[in-house]
Amino acid sequence: MSGRFNAVVLGAGLAGLAAAYTLSKSRRRVAVIEKEPRVGGLSKTVVHRGFRFDLGGHRFFTKNQEIGDLVIRLLDGELVLARRNSKIFMKGRYFDYPLRPLNALLGLGVCESARILLDYSRERLRPRRNPVSLEDWVVANFGRELFNIFFKEYSEKVWGISCDRISAEWVAQRIRGLSLSVAIKDALLKLNRRHRPPTLIREFLYPEKGIGRIAERLAEEVSPNPVLLGFSVCGIRHSGGRIQSVTARNCDSEITVEADSYISSIPLPRLVKMLSPPPPEEVLRAAERLRFRDTVIVAIMVNRPRVTRLSWIYLPEKKVPFGRVHEPNNWSESMSPRGKTSLVAEYFCFSGERLWSMSAGELAQLTVEHLESLGFLREDEVIDSRVVRVPNAYPLLEVGYRRHYEVILDYLSRFENLQLVGRTGMFRYHNMDHAMETGIKAARNLMGERHNLLEVNCAAEYIEEVR
Ligand SMILES: Cc1cc2nc3c(=O)[nH]c(=O)nc-3n(C[C@H](O)[C@H](O)[C@H](O)COP(=O)(O)OP(=O)(O)OC[C@H]3O[C@@H](n4cnc5c(N)ncnc54)[C@H](O)[C@@H]3O)c2cc1C
């Protein structure tokens, strides 16, 4: 790889690839550097002896017409229509997901429901103050009873810290504008409507061969510009308020690449630590304080055509060690060989924990035992398994994280030719479409447009609602 590039993109997830794609289409010389042997990052699809699975089922959904059209064009002829049918499984019963309070109240019985409604009314009468934590936010909008039943255990399982330490910013980003009274009003209105309009909420388009196809197609279109796989960025040299070069290495060589501009989608705290000369102590300390939650994905292959009809099953109870399961066959029948299926369990943990370092065999055994006791399969039906450890899956928005975050952003803003994009790169709870949007806008900034990437994914509305 020789010569100077217009831009170097760090990381070949959807954000980095969308940036490189946009630059390539405008005939810019761009290079992408990715540490993994495959593109896609968190949105890749793993292929294992004829089975395919995402790192936790990925549903592409967007309100951004341009990004929706781009994905449809890239995957022309490869999309299938999948039914969205997700449930929460707890107390031996299924509840709707996203939680529909009317369904929850009916499922919990008269006494429990009366307690929930009474408790919620009490909460509404209290003076309102700005919620600081996830717990404050949910209790204010749904009442403490509903919080204890549906939110507390699951959130603590996902995040590994108690709900009063998880920033309200996270939940507000996910379920803006929703509360028990709004949900009940909505549900009653729907009961009155004879024909419900079809919404993307119930059906969605999914790539026949898994979500990873979006990244693969983007990477194809970046060509002939290079997408360097298996090279981990390890150094970023700067001087005079500009990034001068990045250095990356694989197992037997090291390369240094120079460009006019740099777009980074690699984890924000890692980027800070790679800068040379290093940032001030205060910035390095702030980077230490930003944490990600990691996940371990365990796919269990089953000798049966189908186990459930569900897209995702949420398992809030702590006695089940994983938090969510999906069956890729229900997303696309091409995800398993004919007559077989798979169940994919998501464990949430921190990379230093015991769960992270358990052997693949132990993890498969643990998963099968619990799937069997939940009634999903019998051990003698299991034909194979595969474990994938996924670092940096969820930016952990702890109460007070913003202070540290702003110290970092403030320091990095002095580099006039560096832009941060994507979920891990910006330390924001972005979905796929947001990640792509930041990449596309960063690329356009290099062509003279002016986009503030921090404004992506800030709209004040319930994130998944489509009317
Ligand atoms: C379990 C789970 C389920 C999800 N489900 C959905 C869903 O249903 N719908 C949805 O829209 N979104 C979903 N998401 C979010 C979605 O996965 C992300 O928004 C999207 O993939 C982020 O893309 P990105 O490019 O910003 O980041 P990433 O995918 O994290 O890309 C960053 C890339 O940088 C690379 N990298 C890291 N360090 C280095 C280095 N030193 N040198 C070179 N390369 C490096 C990484 O390997 C990676 O490829 C889900 C996420 C998770 C974890």
Residue 268 has what pLDDT?
98
Residue with the smallest CA separation from ligand 1 atom 5 is: 58
Domain spanning 97-192 has what CATH number? 1.10.3110
pLDDT digit string (tens) for 406-462? 999 999 999 999 999 999 999 999 999 999 999 999 999 999 999 999 999 986 544
Give the model's pLDDT for residue 200.
45
User: What is the 8-class DSSP label of residue 427?
Assistant: T
207 alpha carbon – ligand 1 mean position (Å): 17
Superfamily of domain 5-41+64-74+210-289+398-455: FAD/NAD(P)-binding domain (3.50.50.60)
Mutate to test the pocket of ligand 1, among 53, 97, 228, 265 (most ligand atoms within 8 A of CB): 265
Closest CA to ligand 1's atom 31: 13
Superfamily of domain 292-395: Protoporphyrinogen oxidase, mitochondrial; domain 2 (3.90.660.20)
- Give 257's DSSP letter: E
β-pairing, 5-10 vs 30-34, is: parallel
Backbone angles phi, psi at 313, to 5 degrees: -125, 120
Mean pLDDT, rounded, of the chain: 90
Residues 362-387: what's their mean pLDDT?
A: 97
Write down the pLDDT at residue 352: 87
Taking the centre of ligand 1 as the mean of its atom positions, its distance from the CA of residue 137, in whole angstroms, is 27
Per-residue pLDDT band at 97 (split at 50, 70, 90): confident
Higher pLDDT, 406 or 103: 406
8 Å CB contact between 241 and 416: yes
Q: Report the C-alpha gap between 148 and 140 in whole angstroms.
A: 13
Per-residue pLDDT for 463 more than 50?
Answer: no
| pLDDT reading at 263 higher than 50 | yes
- pLDDT value of residue 294: 97
How far apart CA 346 and CA 233 sit, in angstroms, is 28
Burial 225-264 (b: 16+ CB within 10 A, else e): bbbbbebebeebebeeeebebbbbbeeeeeeebebebbbb
- Give distance in angstroms: CA of 92 to centre of ligand 1: 33
**pLDDT (tens digit per residue) in 118-164:** 888 887 777 767 889 988 888 888 888 888 887 888 889 999 999 99
Q: Which residue has the higher pLDDT, 199 or 20?
A: 20
Query: Residue 325 Cα, ligand 1 centroid: separation in angstroms?
Result: 19
The model's pLDDT over 284-319, given as tens digits with 9 standing for 90+, comes to: 999 999 999 999 999 999 999 999 999 999 999 999
CA dist., res. 379 & res. 376, Å (int): 10
Q: Give 210's pLDDT tier (boundaries 50, 70, 90).
A: very high
The answer, yes or no, to whether residue 177 has pLDDT greater than 60, is no
What pLDDT sits at residue 189?
59
Q: Please report the pLDDT score of residue 458 as a whole number.
A: 84
Gap from CA of 140 to ligand 1 centroid (Å) = 32
Give yes or no for residue 86 CB within 6 A of ligand 1. no
CB 246 near ligand 1, within 6 Å? no
CB atoms under 10 Å from CB of 41, counted, come to 27
Give 175's pLDDT tier (boundaries 50, 70, 90): low
In this predicted structure, which of 137-141, 226-230, 271-275 has the lowest mean pLDDT? Answer: 137-141
What is the CA(423)–ligand 1 centre distance, in A?
6
Say how far apart CA 21 and CA 437 lie, in whole Å: 12
Which atom of ligand 1 is found nearest the CA of 12? 49
Give the span between the Cα atoms of 174 and 152, in whole angstroms: 16
Tokens coding 127: 């003076």
Ligand 1: which of 432, 436, 464 to mutate, most ligand atoms within 8 Å of CB? Answer: 432
Q: Is the CB of 42 under 6 A from ligand 1?
A: yes
For residues 18-42, give the mean pLDDT. Answer: 97
CA distance 36 to 45: 13
| 3-class DSSP string for 305-342 | CCCCCCCEEECCCCCCCCCEEECHHHCCHHHCCCCCEE
Q: Output the pLDDT for position 149.
A: 82
Question: Ligand 1 within 6 A of 311 CB?
Answer: no
Find the 266 Cα to ligand 1 centroid distance in Å: 9
Helix (H, G, I), strand (E, B) or coil at 413: coil
271 lines ligand 1 (CB under 6 A): no
| Distance in angstroms between the alpha carbons of the first and the last residue of the chain | 49
Q: If pLDDT is split at 50, 70 and 90, which confidence band does 465 have?
A: very low
Q: Average pLDDT for residues 247-263, to the nearest whole number?
A: 96
Ligand 1 contact via 35 beta carbon (within 6 Å): yes
**SS3 of 187, please?**
helix
Gap from CA of 327 to ligand 1 centroid (Å): 21
* Of the listed ranges 154-168, 333-347, 357-371, 400-414, the one predicted with least confidence: 154-168
Of 22, 54, 55, 58, which is best to mutate to test ligand 1, by the most ligand atoms within 8 angstroms of its C-beta? Answer: 58
3-state secondary structure of 430: coil
**Cβ 324 under 6 angstroms from ligand 1:** no
Q: For 179-203, what is each residue's pLDDT tens digit?
A: 666 666 666 556 555 444 334 467 8
Residue 192 is predicted with a pLDDT of: 52
| Reported confidence tier of residue 245, pLDDT bands at 50, 70, 90 | very high
Long-range contacts of 232-240 (CB under 8 A, 24+ apart): 232/35, 233/10, 233/33, 233/35, 233/266, 233/274, 234/274, 235/274, 235/276, 236/262, 236/271, 236/274, 236/275, 236/276, 237/276, 238/275, 238/276, 238/277, 238/415
Q: How many helices (H) and strands (E) does the chain have?
A: 17, 20
